[in-house]
Amino acid sequence: MTGGQAHRRDRRQTDAQSGLTRDRLYGVAEWRGREFTVVDTAGLDLDGAKDSSRSAIEAQTRIAIDQADVIVLLFDVRQGLTPIDRDIAQMLRKSRARVIVAANKADSHGEAHFAHELLELGFDEPSLVSAQHGLGVGELLDRLLEALPPHQEPSGEDDKADRLAIMGRPNVGKSSLLNALLGDERALVSPTPGTTRDPIDTELVFDGVPVVLIDTAGIRRKSSSRDRLERYSLLRGIHAMERADAVLLVLDASAGVLAQDQHVAGYALDAGKGLVIVVNKIDLVEPAERKPAHWRAALARQFKFAPYAPIATVSAKTREGIGTLLPTALEVVGQRRIKMPPNELNRVLREAFLDHPPPSFKGRRLKLGYGTQAAGEAPTVVMFVNDTGLLHFSYRRYLEKKIRDRFGLIGNPIKLVLRSDEGSRNRPRVSPPGAARRPPPQAGR
């Protein structure tokens, strides 16, 4: 449970992509090269009369607690503890997650401080922070990193497979689509499923390629009766998405696009996952509306933050378009493995800077030292520049487009990470053609 502001500063890359600011629960943050997902909960109020929206919010918080590795229990340092706070602390002590207590708004010395009271909760010393002024946030993030379990590299047979998460609102046809895909004659459901597989995973071999379909509709079927609200399946679905290479976001051609659809696409972007927008139930619309080109235009505004995502039009019922869906999705996963040779990448970046120099900001201009592809699942380019604060949002878009024009990366977001190279004269600059140098060690994620 973290304060919303705390993960948006300085070295962390939480891209505030335009059009995606409403009502976000999840963000992908990076600190000291480690990526983690931050869930901002609405909090708990174990007390009092509950209407249904209140209990929905609380159930969501409980799911977040279940799924968390680390819980940041945040207080306002100017307010003393209440009995409810103590109840919450007691409940969290029983969870498997590590709990870090933090006291926010620790910025004015004049006001009463209750930090000492927080020790009574039985956790370690609280971290004092001011999210507003950025004080103590770095130290809190360091504690958080220490508390996180070690990063697990994917390993084992199962991980050779391309992993696709089928996501979307209830009733858009996720289960029907899964069945339609399994009905394809090129798809062989694996007779020897891996031993560690999740119950919502279906393993298959498609045209010789091992694939795992992660069926988020299955989450709903397997959840208990108190779990029926739509919101919960979204939260769990997003957890499932984290295991995927690409997301198939299913929409219903006969219904509109809702904010939740945009959120799922936004989470996929933030998490660096591939994305295919699947418009299902095209049997219900006019023939003119059954082609991807129609939907490319119709959805352009709602998904303008993810113009790179291919659009597939299908009917799980009539099987129209089903045959091309997995090939499209597998191409998107394949594009994640593209290697951008350093010389070529630097040529593209240099030309982009020359063709259209960055605008100056308060008399200063972004200067490129060196660009390199970082290791990692999602396509990531690290650029060493004079000042990371000088990259304007529209210039970022421009550079991403130039990289995409050269390397494709269809269906995938490009992460453009900036590092400051000011003051370090011996770091590699742009290498002359034919003399590629190794990226400095900081370039990894």
Q: Which residues bind ligand GDP (CB under 6 A)?
A: 168, 170-176, 217, 280-281, 283-284, 315-317
Write down the least CB distance from residue 247 to ligand GDP, Å. 14
Write down the least CB distance from residue 257 to ligand GDP, Å. 15
When CB distances to ligand GDP are compared, the closest residue is 173
Query: Strand locations in 197-295, DSSP E?
Result: 201-206, 209-215, 246-252, 274-280
Q: According to the 3-state scheme, what is the secondary structure of 311-340?
A: EEECCCCCCCCHHHHHHHHHHHHHHCCCCC
* CA-wise closest residue to 231 among 43, 54, 28: 54
* CA-wise closest residue to 32 among 437, 336, 421, 419: 419
3-state helix, strand, coil in the chain (%, to 5): 35, 20, 45
Please, which residue, 236 or 336, has the CB nearer to ligand GDP? 236
Please, which residue, 174 or 336, has the CB nearer to ligand GDP? 174
Please, which residue, 107 or 283, has the CB nearer to ligand GDP? 283
Please, which residue, 282 or 390, has the CB nearer to ligand GDP? 282
Q: Is 226 helix (H, G, I), strand (E, B) or coil?
A: helix
Q: Is 254 helix (H, G, I), strand (E, B) or coil?
A: coil
Please, which residue, 288 or 435, has the CB nearer to ligand GDP? 288
Please, which residue, 195 or 224, has the CB nearer to ligand GDP? 224
Write down the least CB distance from residue 295 to ligand GDP, Å. 14
* CA-wise closest residue to 167 among 234, 257, 256, 229: 234
Write down the least CB distance from residue 230 to ligand GDP, Å. 10
Write down the least CB distance from residue 52 to ligand GDP, Å. 21
Write down the least CB distance from residue 409 to ligand GDP, Å. 29
User: What is the Cα 322 distance to its own chain's centre?
Assistant: 27
Contact between residue 277 and residue 188 where contact means Cβ atoms under 8 Å apart: no
Contact between residue 279 and residue 251 where contact means Cβ atoms under 8 Å apart: yes
DSSP single-letter state for residue 51: -
Please, which residue, 224 or 426, has the CB nearer to ligand GDP? 224
**CA–CA dist 11, 32 (Å, integer):** 8
Write down the least CB distance from residue 316 to ligand GDP, Å. 4
Residue labelled with tokens 């509709």: 217
Please, which residue, 279 or 348, has the CB nearer to ligand GDP? 279
Write down the least CB distance from residue 258 to ligand GDP, Å. 13
Structural tokens at position 116: 């000492």
Rounded to 5 degrees, φ, ψ at 293 are -60, -40
